[in-house]
Structure 1
Amino acid sequence: MTDEGPRLGPKAAEDEFPQSRAGGRGLTLRAVLPNAITAAALCSGLTGIRFAIGGEWKLAIFAIILAGLLDGIDGRIARLLKAQSRFGAELDSLADSLSFGMAPALIIYLWTLQDLPSIGWFAALAFAICCALRLARFNAQIDVDEQPHKSAGFLTGIPAPVGAGLAFLPFYLWMATGNEMFRDPLANAIWIVAIAVLMISNLATLSWGLIRPHRSLRLAFIALVGMLFAALLLEPWWSLVAICVLYLGLMPYAAWRYIRFRQQRGERMAANPAP
């Protein structure tokens, strides 16, 4: 770990180590593109609310998914262009809070939770607040050298975009099956509160950095990604259900793998004590 400031920009990913601090002289020309993508992600998330107000549920969900895709590339483009900035970091956190906290909470409230006005609204508030708290925790720890989960390549809790995607799982099932059971307001209230708790939890979760297929499996991995893309085009709702179930199923594995990592690190330290 260096003694330099944190890596900034849209966004310093949760599974990355700090590197350098961009200057404070305003945005450079090459910083315009990644920040424009962040702004587009923000607009996409907020437009999802507009679609939900009009009862256009499919478009509302697709707007949040698009925001998630844009959020996944803005930081990578910023790092590719070496255009990280404090402005970009702050804009990205604001965009994430609105697109993956407030927007999903309002969409789910309009879709089902409004049938339980008090309980439903408190559940929506819990989700939005927990998303904001998660992002605040990340920003507060960006300068902290010792982060056990991050140093091992894990994340702490469920990332905000993933939390938003998981919160819509009952909606995916409702669209896939047409069964009104999945629109039950009480069940949905309990579900999004559970996801909210997971977002601010201290559970170790998998990061993209841990996905490193063996050289012999890389062609198969590319084929799998292509098939997943085709499945999303042909059966979007069932595909989204499968992705959510897979992620939830991997959470116990991530916790076990982190425990094993800590045990192995403890054994190495015991075998090679510091002088």
Structure 2
Amino acid sequence: MVQRPPALGGGTLGRRRRAIRPPRLGGLTINKLLPNMLTVLALSAGMTGIRFATDQRWEHAVVAIVVAAVLDALDGRIARLLNAQSKFGAELDSLSDVVSFGVAPAMILYMWGLNEARSFGWIACLLFGACAALRLARFNTALGSAAQKPVWAYNYFTGVPAPAGAGLALLPIVASFELGRTVVGHPVFVVIWTVGMAALMISAIPTFSLKGLRIHPRYVVFVFLGLVLLAAGVVSAPWTTLLILGLGYLVTLPFSVRQYRRLMDQAESLVGGEDVPVAEAAADEAAEQPPV
């Protein structure tokens, strides 16, 4: 009787073959890569805004920065929803923000009107880019000390966020689409405006953050109606809508400062009146707060 050789799947030979087989390379799913993809797209949109500015296509340049801001708002939230946060993604997001909301708006403004102010215009351009980088560096270093931040302050940014700062800096260009460049395009005004927006980004002014905002069920319908009106305004009158949104954001700054100080006074009176340690009080309040 002829004996057959043992199958490769069993026996000593099969075990040896499996032992020397190289391990399979692990890969990343699309869910893990999606936030970083959005970040790269935001970076590309910001750089494309510079390209449009070199061609003096100012409307397209502003739209490119708006698209970068929308993508920047989505990547972090999608990363948290998909549990795809990573150190690499955080660093990539910061570098993208420096380009899209620091360098790109500054260069667009310089080619649009700051260059007419000569050296003062270039100084304003440099200040805006540098302040955007400093603002993001401060934000990154503050992440490690988040546990020391009071709970009631979680819904506030320190200074104007970089995407909002870029949008505010471009408001003179947006206004010129409706009012004409002679009204808001004077070099002195553009220089002062650019420096002021740069100062807002690195300031210590508390500004509202909508990350932890909770909407009562009875107001959800009104929120959806507001989104419909916003979409209609963007489609029918985009520049007027963007101008109103930017000026409306500036109007909220005094209210955010007042609300922040009121919460701070209440926290100090609560701790001083009941003699409760700050850490314990923060821990008790954190248990009742939604995740940010």
Aligned to 1:175: 177
Shift of 1:181: 2.1
Aligned to 2:57: 56
Shift of 1:84: 0.7
Confirm or deny: 8 A CA contact 1:152 1:261 kept in the other structure.
no
- Counterparts in 2 of 1:86 and 1:26: CA distance versus 1, 3 Å: farther
1:140 lines up with 2:126 in the alignment = no
Q: What whole-Å deviation, never above 9, does each CA across 1:239-265 have from its counterpart, x for those lacking one?
A: 111101111111000000001001111
Segments of structure 2 that go 5 or more residues without pairing to the other structure are 1-25, 278-292
Q: What whole-Å deviation, never above 9, does each CA across 1:6-44 have from its counterpart, x for those lacking one?
A: xxxxxxxxxxxxxxxxxxx99665321110110000000
Amino acid in the other structure paired with 2:63: F
Q: Which has the higher contact order (CA 8 A, sep 6+)?
A: 1
Aligned to 1:38: 39
Paired residues for 1:102-251 under 5 Å: 102-144=103-145, 145-148=147-150, 151-209=153-211, 211-251=213-253
Pick from 243, 268, 272: which aligns with 1:266?
268
State the SS of the aligned residue for 1:213: coil
- Counterparts in 2 of 1:26 and 1:107: CA distance versus 1, 3 Å: farther
Confirm or deny: 8 A CA contact 1:149 1:155 kept in the other structure.
no
Shift of 1:150: 7.2
Confirm or deny: 8 A CA contact 2:153 2:260 kept in the other structure.
no
- Counterparts in 2 of 1:149 and 1:119: CA distance versus 1, 3 Å: farther
Amino acid in the other structure paired with 1:95: S
| Equivalent-residue separation in structure 2 for 1:265 and 1:115 (angstroms) | 50
- Counterparts in 2 of 1:201 and 1:232: CA distance versus 1, 3 Å: same
| Equivalent-residue separation in structure 2 for 1:241 and 1:212 (angstroms) | 27
Q: What whole-Å deviation, never above 9, does each CA across 1:197-247 have from its counterpart, x for those lacking one?
A: 010001110001354333222101110111011101111111111101111
- Counterparts in 2 of 1:124 and 1:149: CA distance versus 1, 3 Å: farther
| Equivalent-residue separation in structure 1 for 2:143 and 2:102 (angstroms) | 20
Segments of structure 1 that go 5 or more residues without pairing to the other structure are 1-24
TM-score between the two structures when normalised by the length of structure 2: 0.82
Q: Identity, % of aligned pairs?
A: 43
Runs of 4+ residues deviating >4 angstroms: 25-29
Query: Cα RMSD between the aligned structures?
Result: 1.7
Amino acid in the other structure paired with 1:160: A
Confirm or deny: 8 A CA contact 1:34 1:74 kept in the other structure.
yes
State the SS of the aligned residue for 1:65: helix
Confirm or deny: 8 A CA contact 1:160 1:199 kept in the other structure.
yes
Amino acid in the other structure paired with 2:203: S
| Equivalent-residue separation in structure 2 for 1:179 and 1:110 (angstroms) | 14
| Equivalent-residue separation in structure 2 for 1:115 and 1:202 (angstroms) | 31
Confirm or deny: 8 A CA contact 1:42 1:67 kept in the other structure.
yes
- Counterparts in 2 of 1:135 and 1:274: CA distance versus 1, 3 Å: same
| Equivalent-residue separation in structure 1 for 2:218 and 2:28 (angstroms) | 43
TM-score between the two structures when normalised by the length of structure 1: 0.87
Amino acid in the other structure paired with 1:223: L
Amino acid in the other structure paired with 1:183: G
Q: Give 1 or 2 for the bigger CA radius of gyration.
A: 2
